[in-house]
């Protein structure tokens, strides 16, 4: 289909208003435009949304620096020495590279701003209107944008279809109010100009684990406070256990079964009080205790959009809400808080609304990654799910330390694990724990998505030597011989 511009649109074009310019919103806007819609995106913060401005892009850019620091730790094993003067330094910290956090955060923010500007330019190039301001529903077919017009006037947008892609914001505790200086949410970390001396991270889910790992690698003393038995509750147990071991071996203090009750500022730092009365002191505290959907106070329920008790918008498999003509995508739906899933939900919504072919989202084939060192990537059924639904499965794990390429690269911590059906051999899921596991998971994602068998995976060539060789090797180990 050729490109459609506003000038060539006839009056019959479906008027689509997307509220929220994150991955759930902007991807959908592009799809809707290509399908001939008359599209407006309303965004209050900046195009690309939290994903680009405060969450995915900044965190992964910061983690890129942390990764280099982790790799540099292996330098000595690979025969690399620091210049003599530095090597003679008395303090261990002086014998390693040091991080200029101001420079790191300047790079992080510049990259996020550039990506946001690129997305806005692309949308405008494709003929999408962008209105800046906070949108609220006035019934199921009208969006009012506060301050969206000139001189702060409101703008009213009538719509045939509305897509809510509102995202979420960090959850805080009433007894731990962020001040942007010492008590921080993850959106406030990038204003730091100096590395926290002792960072207390409250919450050991994906966000807490990623930042705890990153700041530890950057050179901060890190205390990770986890209310559960182990870090990363809900993730593959072997992977979580391995990561916790790596964290501890790198000098991080991991406090399990410790619930933070409050965080307060002291003269020169912070104090975090645990529910059992213990008090931890640090220079800064990061609250990573989940997110709250941005669905309140903008007329959703009044317009007939049903919300779950958690505040998330209820949607079906093609992203429809309970209000006719109103769709929702991304973190505000609480389906799976991933940028890739948000974008897919948004695309599906627009294809459905504009009468294009739609394939409902299959969450079983979503690949996810935790950007720690090593990374933890997963796809398909987890072992926990297979056990819970009493599925028949076989599994094998191969430690990364046995892989020849890993040995050459000086990598020790990690593994590849596959789950397959015992008779049919179909790959049901997999876990990769390795540096760049996010890249290595793709062959397993293909296998899960296309129902390949372990023999299909094992019979494909891999480069020798390569980390992906371990994936084929595990598949080979799961070969089922017909008697
Ligand atoms: C620290 C962190 C790291 C992450 N890393 C990854 C990762 O590596 N990979 C991954 O896949 N996912 C990651 N995620 C999850 C990912 O950020 C989200 O799943 C993704 O941002 C969801 O996209 P969205 O479009 O639903 O919402 P958002 O990206 O939150 O965008 C929503 C936008 O809507 C705007 N908005 C809300 N209400 C209104 C309104 N009423 N009017 C106008 N505008 C409004 C907001 O300003 C915001 O810009 C991470 C999350 C966090 C917290």
The model's pLDDT over 235-267, given as tens digits with 9 standing for 90+, comes to 999 999 999 999 999 999 999 999 999 999 999
Mean pLDDT of 206-223: 97
Mean pLDDT of 49-70: 97
Model confidence at 344: pLDDT above 60? yes
CA of 397 relative to ligand 1 center, distance in Å: 34
Provide residues with CB under 6 Å of ligand 1: 19-25, 42-45, 49-51, 55-56, 59-60, 134-135, 165-168, 186, 207, 294, 298, 330-332, 337-340, 342, 371
Model confidence at 276: pLDDT above 80? yes
Shortest CA distance to 26 belongs to which of 339, 346, 336? 346
In the prediction, which pLDDT does 88 show?
61
φ/ψ of residue 227, rounded to 5: -80, -10
Pairwise CA distance, residues 157 & 175, whole Å: 40
- Work out the number of other CB atoms within 10 angstroms of the CB of residue 478: 21
In the prediction, which pLDDT does 84 show?
65
Residue 250 burial (10 A CB sphere; 0-12, 13-18, 19+) = middle
Contact 370, 376 (CB under 8 A): yes
Model confidence at 5: pLDDT above 90? no
CA of 220 relative to ligand 1 center, distance in Å: 27
pLDDT band at 12 (very low <50, low <70, confident <90, very high): confident
In the prediction, which pLDDT does 1 show?
35
In the prediction, which pLDDT does 149 show?
78
pLDDT band at 373 (very low <50, low <70, confident <90, very high): very high
Shortest CA distance to 55 belongs to which of 294, 291, 346, 310? 291
Least confident of 32-41, 142-151, 312-321, 471-480: 142-151
Mean pLDDT of the chain: 94
**CA nearest ligand 1 atom 4, residue:** 56
Model confidence at 355: pLDDT above 60? yes
State in Å, rounded, how far the first CA of the chain is from the last one: 54
In the prediction, which pLDDT does 300 show?
98
In the prediction, which pLDDT does 9 show?
47
């Amino acid at each position: 289909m050729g490109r459609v511009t506003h000038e060539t649109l006839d009056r019959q074009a479906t008027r689509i208003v997307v509220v929220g310019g994150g991955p759930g919103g902007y991807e959908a806007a592009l799809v809707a435009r290509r399908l001939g819609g008359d599209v407006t995106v309303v965004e209050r913060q900046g195009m690309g949304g939290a994903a680009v401005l405060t969450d995915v892009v900044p965190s992964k850019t910061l983690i890129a620096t942390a990764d280099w620091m982790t790799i540099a730790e292996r330098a000595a094993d690979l025969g690399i020495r620091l210049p003599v003067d530095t090597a003679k330094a008395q303090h261990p910290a002086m014998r390693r590279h040091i991080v200029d956090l101001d420079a790191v955060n300047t790079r992080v923010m510049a990259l996020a701003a550039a990506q946001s500007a690129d997305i806005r330019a692309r949308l405008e190039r494709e003929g999408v209107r962008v209105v800046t301001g906070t949108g609220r529903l006035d019934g199921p077919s009208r969006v009012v944008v506060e301050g969206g017009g000139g001189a702060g006037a409101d703008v009213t947008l009538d719509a045939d279809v509305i897509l809510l892609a509102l995202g979420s914001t960090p959850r805080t505790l009433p007894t731990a109010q962020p001040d942007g200086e010492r008590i921080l949410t993850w959106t406030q970390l990038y204003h730091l100009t100096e590395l926290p001396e002792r960072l207390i991270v409250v919450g050991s889910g994906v966000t807490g684990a990623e930042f705890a790992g990153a700041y530890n690698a950057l050179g901060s003393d890190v205390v990770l406070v986890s209310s559960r038995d182990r870090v990363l509750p809900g993730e593959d147990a072997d992977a979580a256990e391995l990561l916790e071991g790596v964290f501890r071996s790198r000098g991080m203090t991991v406090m399990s079964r410790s619930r933070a009750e409050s965080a307060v500022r002291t003269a020169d730092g912070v104090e975090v009080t645990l529910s059992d009365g213990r008090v931890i002191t640090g220079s800064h505290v990061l609250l990573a205790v989940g997110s709250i959907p941005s669905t309140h106070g903008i007329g959703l329920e009044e317009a007939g959009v049903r919300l779950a008790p958690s505040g998330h918008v209820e949607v079906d498999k093609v992203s429809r809400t309970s209000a006719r003509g109103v769709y929702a995508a991304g973190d505000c739906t609480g389906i799976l808080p991933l940028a890739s899933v948000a974008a897919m939900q948004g695309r599906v919504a627009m294809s459905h609304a504009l009468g294009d072919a739609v394939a409902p989202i299959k969450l079983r084939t979503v690949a996810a990654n935790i950007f720690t060192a090593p990374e933890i990537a997963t796809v398909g059924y987890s072992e926990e799910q297979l056990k819970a639904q009493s599925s028949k499965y076989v599994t094998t794990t191969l430690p990364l330390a046995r892989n020849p390429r890993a040995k050459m690269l000086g990598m020790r911590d990690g593994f590849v694990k596959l789950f397959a059906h015992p008779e049919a051999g179909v790959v049901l899921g997999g876990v990769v724990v390795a540096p760049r596991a996010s890249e290595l998971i793709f062959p397993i994602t293909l296998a899960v998505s296309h129902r390949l068998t372990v023999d299909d995976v094992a019979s494909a060539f891999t480069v020798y030597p390569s980390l992906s060789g371990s994936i084929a090797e595990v598949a080979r180990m799961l070969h089922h011989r017909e008697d």
